[in-house]
Structure 1
Amino acid sequence: MVRWIATLAALLVAPAAWAEDADYYRGGWRAADGPPQVFEFVIVGAQVHGVYCTYCSDGTTLARIEGSFVEDDGIAFTVRHLDLAGNLVSQDRLTGKLEGRKLRVTGTRGADGATIDLVTIKDPRGPAPATIPQIILPPGSPPVKVLERRGGAAPPPPAPYVQAAPWKQQLSPKDLLGVWLGFGYGEPKQYFFIRNDGDELFGMACGPCDNPYTMGVLDNFAFDGDIVRFDIQHQDWGEGSKVPFVRNLAAHIGMNELRMDARRDDAPDRPGIVASLVGPLALEATAGNVNAAD
C-alpha cells in the first residue's frame, strides 16, 4: 500500500514539473488581447535571449530580450528598448510564467514604472501551411496542415544566377544594419530586421510579421572579410520533425543585395536555402507599418 501511494504521488507530481520544461516556453508568444505585443524567446540551457516587438513589421519597435530560465520559476528577463542609434532608452523587468497553455508576463515597465500584467498565447493559426511536413511547439500542439502538391508538368528551371558586381570586401556592421526584403511580395514577403544594441547586433526575420510562428530571432553575428555569418533560430516551428534547430547563414553583400546560403545546423551537408535579399532600408523607413491582422 505504501509503495502504491508513493507511485501515485510521483505520477501526480511528475506532470507539473514536465509541463514546465523549456519546450513549453521557447519560441513566440503574442498578447491574447489588446494592442499587438510579441515576445520571441531563445532558450539554451539556463540562458534566454530574444526579441520583443509590437507592430512587428515596423522595425523601430524591435527590442532586445535578455534573461534566464528555471523550470520551477519560468523566465526572468529584461526588454531593452533602444533608440535608432542603438542606445538604451528604457528597460522593462519582467517574468513569464506558464498558466495552463498561456504565458502570463508580469513586471515593471522601465519608461514610467507602470505595472505590466499581460496574458500571452501561442498563435492558433500556426505556421503558414506548406507542401512539406512541419512541427510546432509546445508539445501536444495540433499537427500542421500539409498542402497537396499541384499536378501537371514541373515548372521550368529558373534562369541561372548572374552576380551583379564584385562583393564588398571587409564587411562590417554598417553594411548590414537596417531592413532587408526578399522571398516574394505581398503578405508573405520576408523582412530581415537587423539592429544594434551598443556594439552587439541582433535581429528578427518575419513574414508575415503578425504571427510568432512565422518569425525567427537572428543572432550570433560574425564578420570574416567579405562574408557575414549569423543564425536564424527556429525555436518552436520548422520543417521536418525536430525543433529547436538553428539555420546557419553565410552571406556576401554587394549592389544592395545580400546573397545567402542558409543550412540547418543538424544537416550541414544538405543543400541550403540559396537566395537573395534586397536592402538595406533604414529602420525608420518601416515606421508605421501595420499588418492586416494586427
Structure 2
Amino acid sequence: MTHVATLVGAPGAGTLTPEILAAAAKRLPGAGKPVILAPGEAADIPFAPGAAHGNRADGAFADAAYCKAAVSVLQLGLGAQPLDIFVQPLEGRRKKLLLADMDSTMIGQECIDELADFVGLKAKVAAITERAMRGEIAFEPALRERVALLAGLDAGVVDKAIEERITLTSGGTALVRTMRAHGAYTALVSGGFTLFTSRIAEKIGFDENRANILLVERGKFVGKVLEPILGKAAKLATLQDLAARKELELNETLAIGDGANDLAMLEAAGLGVAYRAKPAVATAAQARVEHGDLTALLFAQGFRAEEFVME
C-alpha cells in the first residue's frame, strides 16, 4: 500500500458506518482493510493506485493532483455524507511542523471585528474583513483601513475581548499538544495582532506566535499597525523560514487556515488544509475540513483517538 484515504465525521455523530467504509473502499484501487482511528468517527483505508497512478507525470505536483482527484471521486461516490476526506501518500503523513492561522481557525472569531464592536463599528469592519478573507480586496490596505477605525480605543479592551468573546476552536488544543508530544514544532501565524496571538498561543500550547503589532500610545490604540504588515507573503515566508530553521522539507509541514491570506502557505505546505474556509480557499486548498473539528488533522496523520494529548 502506498496511499491512504482518511474519512472523518463530526465528533460524536456516529457518521462513519461500516457500510460507508465499504462503499469508499470499492472506489479505491487495491484497497486494504479499513483501520479504525475512532469508532464511528474516523478511519483509514490504505490503497495502492498501481499502474494507473504510475503512468502519471513524475513529481510531487502530479501526486498532489492525483490525491485531490481521488477525494473528488470518493465525495461523488458517497453522495452527501457529512465527511471530511483526506487522500495522501502513506510515507511522510506525520508532519514535523504545524503552522496555523488564528482568527476563524484556532479561535471562532475575528479579533479585529470584536475590537471594532467596542466603538460601535463591528458591522462595518466585519464587512471589510469578509471581503479581505474572500480575496476580493488586498489584505494589507484592508487591515490599515480597519485599524484606523480603532484610533483612540483603550487598549485594555483586549483583556475584556479575550475573556468574554474569544472561544477556542474545538480540537485545536489536542491538535497542537499531540503534535508537540510527537516531536513537531508548532507556530501560530496570524494577520491579526500579537496582543491576541501571544495569549491564545499560550492557552493552546504553541511553541511560538507571529502576528502584526498594533501601535499603542498612553494606553490607547494609535490607529496604525507596525509596518511591514504580516500578510499572505509573510505567512508563506514564515513557513519557509521555520522549515529551513528546523532542517525540514516542505513536504514535512502542515498548514491550516481559512482566508485568502492563508492560501500561499496552504499551497506550499506538505498538507495544506482549509478549515471552514471561504469558497475560493476551500477550492484551491489540498484538503478541507467542513464537518469534523481540528482533531481531523490528527486523524489525517494516522493518530488514533486514544493517542490524543488533551492537556
Q: Normalising TM by the smaller chain, what interval?
A: under 0.3
Higher relative contact order (CA 8 A, sep 6+): 2
Q: Per residue, is there more helix in 1 or in 2?
A: 2
**Structure 2 length-normalised TM:** 0.20
**Structure 1 length-normalised TM:** 0.20
